[in-house]
Amino acid sequence: MPVSIRELPEWPSDIEAHPLLVIDYQLLKEGNKAEIERLWDAGTHLGFWYLKNYGAEQDFIAMWAMAEELFKLPLEEKMKYEQGDDGMSFGYKAIGRYIVDAAGNPDPVEGVDIAKDDALSYPKISRRSYPGVVGDLMPPIITPFVEKCLGITDTMIDIFNDKLELPKGTLASVHQRNDFSASETRTIKAPANLTPGKLAVGGHTDFGTLSLLVNNLGGLQVLPPGTTEWCYVRPLPGHLICNVGDTLTMFSGGLLNSNIHRVIPPPGSQSKYDRWSQVYFSRPSDTAPLKPFLESPLIAEAFNKLTPERQKALSPGVPSYEWHTRRQKNYRTNNHKGAETWAANRGTENGRA
Ligand SMILES: O=C(O)CCC(=O)C(=O)O
Ligand SMILES: [Fe+2]
């Protein structure tokens, strides 16, 4: 079994971790104004925060058990369900299929992504098929996981909607649960004893709206705005790590910050263990055009102050699926041609003021 977050080897005392705001999900649900302000503060500055009292820790950990069963299958069997090089992110991801830097170095992690649409429509296939173990574990593990994550992301999306002074339900209207989207679960396993300094996941901003994350070990790092030093984010038992993705930055005219992050081997003695990570990516409906909601005076004012280059980066105007497919495609090792492919898988960090 993956080493659980509750049996973590001690965080090394000489390694500093970046402080994130701790937001209480139950207080958000109750409409607590001070907590909502703190969420806004986190979303508009670092773009990362801890979320406690979210009521789904076991659901995240159960996903590791699901993936562990899947990863045990022969490679030949798993490869029948690989994501492929056409820009789809659903399915199995074999080691080495994503690039981690502009030089095109391959990643060392194994992963599996399951579409929100497949989890909700099971046993009907909406987007693609998966190995049998995914079907077996859909009703007891995967679908309940997706349902819980939808509850959490919908709550925070509505709060951001209101803080952005958008008409009620504007952001929700482009994140409807029954609209097809690139929303998905992602389970990643990075092997123990990676070479120190090796990248497990290269520096990136997340493609979608909000990401929910549980790690059993450290290794995630953020580059806080205005700095040049990568800082660890320490996994805390009972706390989700949440972050803003690019599409929320675009919808908000840059007010909400999708911050750059990466994954390196876990610090200190933690590096002797396999690193498991479970993410839920909330992403807009496939057909939603990516541009700021300028009907909010707050968003319009913020957007108008940006440089033309940054405005262009935040207003591609293309449907969400097109943006996602382009980035995903250029992430694939087989499609790597040079530094331009790396640039093409980048997101709103381009043109950042
Ligand atoms: O594994 C992690 O801690 C983060 C993974 C990540 O950033 C991603 O998959 O987008
Ligand atoms: Fe990420």
Give, for all 353 residues of the chain, the pLDDT tens digit: 666 666 777 788 899 999 999 999 999 999 999 999 999 999 999 999 999 999 999 999 999 999 999 999 999 999 999 999 999 999 999 999 999 999 999 999 999 999 999 999 999 999 999 999 999 999 999 999 999 999 999 999 999 999 999 999 999 999 999 999 999 999 999 999 999 989 999 999 999 999 999 999 999 999 999 999 999 999 999 999 999 999 999 999 999 999 999 999 999 989 999 999 999 999 999 999 999 999 999 999 999 999 999 999 999 999 999 999 999 999 999 999 988 877 777 776 654 54
Q: What is the ipTM of this complex?
A: 0.99
Closest C-alpha to 148, from 86, 219, 60: 60
The atom of ligand 1 lying closest to the CA of 233 is: 3
Cα(278)–Cα(265) distance, integer angstroms: 16
How many domains are there within the chain?
Answer: 1
Residue 155 lies in a domain: yes
- Residue 221 lies in domain: 5-344
Query: CA angle at residue 258 from 263 to 202, to 5 degrees?
Result: 25
Neighbours of ion ligand 2 (CB under 5 A): 206
Residue with tokens 């194994």: 110
CA dihedral 246, 117, 201, 61 (to 10 degrees): 120
pTM for the model stands at 0.97
What is the CATH classification number for the domain harbouring 156? 2.60.120.330
Residue 103 lies in a domain: yes
φ, ψ for residue 189 (rounded to 5)? -120, 115
Residue 47 lies in a domain: yes
Residue 353 lies in a domain: no
CB contact at 8 A, 175 and 160 = no
Strands 22-24 and 48-52: parallel
Which structure tokens are listed for 246?
């690019």
Residue 149 lies in a domain: yes
Residue 349 lies in a domain: no
With a Cβ cut-off of 6 Å, ligand 1 is lined by: 186, 188, 201, 206, 213, 215, 220, 261, 263, 277, 279
CA 132 to centroid of ligand 2, rounded, Å: 27
CA distances, 279 to each of 75, 199, 310, 340 (Å): 23, 18, 28, 28
Top mutation candidate among 89, 114, 213, 274 for ligand 1, by most atoms within 8 Å of CB:
213
Residue 350 lies in a domain: no
